[in-house]
Amino acid sequence: MSEDLFRGPATTPAQWQQSAHLARATWITPEQLCPPGRRLIVVAPHPDDEILACGGLLASLRGREQDLLLISATDGEASHPGSQQWTEHRLRRQRPQESRNALHRLGLDLQALDWQRLSLKDTAVARDEAYLVGHLGQLLRPDDLLLCTWRGDGHCDHEAVGRACAQAAQAKGATLLEVPVWAWYWAQPEDPRLPWERACKVQLDADAVQRKQQAIAAHVSQIESDGERPPVLPAETLECLMQPFELVFR
């Protein structure tokens, strides 16, 4: 992560509710964003990013697994550097299992879901950025929707995935959808660094919100304290990510 962005306290949900930019963002339904028959490819830097970024959207598309392709870039093994409880070896097994549990809680049929795990090195996706561009280039079709973390999100892997997806989408003529995750923590409500002119809010019904909340709870390693260390995911940021919409830059 960019240390400078994370030195201050997390921006609270109450602060975000005062955002004029957020209030002006266009509302869109999941069906309008991804109509039946159109394929959605979701690229998650780490196990849990697919839930944090678009778990509500995925829950809304259950029963359409044939229209979904999920790509996990890393296994998330570097989330707890120096931890005795959550070693890299343990996290490589734990975090993908948490993702499986989370996707099941969304109501998705994992047997029908096309899910690729690339096992790139956590915190070093930029090193394999060209590989990721090439891999996506082999998969993408011009009518695809390619959803990923935002290129300015403040985490090196999130930004590398965003850059790779942007390059691949442009080359193939696919539609790029970028989602902020960590920006909810460090950005300010009227922050000019966010591309507000491209912002829209994907409306989630109560069932999708509830399923997303249950899916986030499956990521035990990320939401529980590690001894005296606080959880990886701060409560304020999680609350922002569990609102009845998901913010997308398109």
Is 5 part of any domain? no
Residue 67, token pair as written in the block:
């229209």
Is 129 part of any domain? yes
Is 1 part of any domain? no
Is 107 part of any domain? yes
- Write down the pLDDT at residue 5: 85
Q: How far apart are CA 56 and CA 131, in angstroms?
A: 29
- Write down the pLDDT at residue 4: 76
CATH number of 77's domain: 3.40.50.10320
Q: How far apart are CA 79 and CA 102, in angstroms?
A: 18
159 φ, ψ (degrees, to nearest 5): -75, -40
- Name the stretches of the chain with pLDDT < 50: none
The DSSP secondary-structure symbol of 229 reads: B
Is 234 part of any domain? yes
Residue 205, token pair as written in the block:
């019904």
DSSP output for 169-214? HHHHTPEEEEE-STHHHH--TT-TTS-GGGEEEEE--HHHHHHHHH
Domain limits for position 175: 11-247
Number of C-beta neighbours around residue 118 at 10 A: 15
Is 38 part of any domain? yes
Is 156 part of any domain? yes
Q: In the chain, count of helices (H) and strands (E)? A: 11, 8
- Write down the pLDDT at residue 2: 59
If one counts the domains in the chain, the total is 1
Is 4 part of any domain? no
Report pLDDT digits (tens) over 2-31. Answer: 567 888 899 999 999 999 999 999 999 999
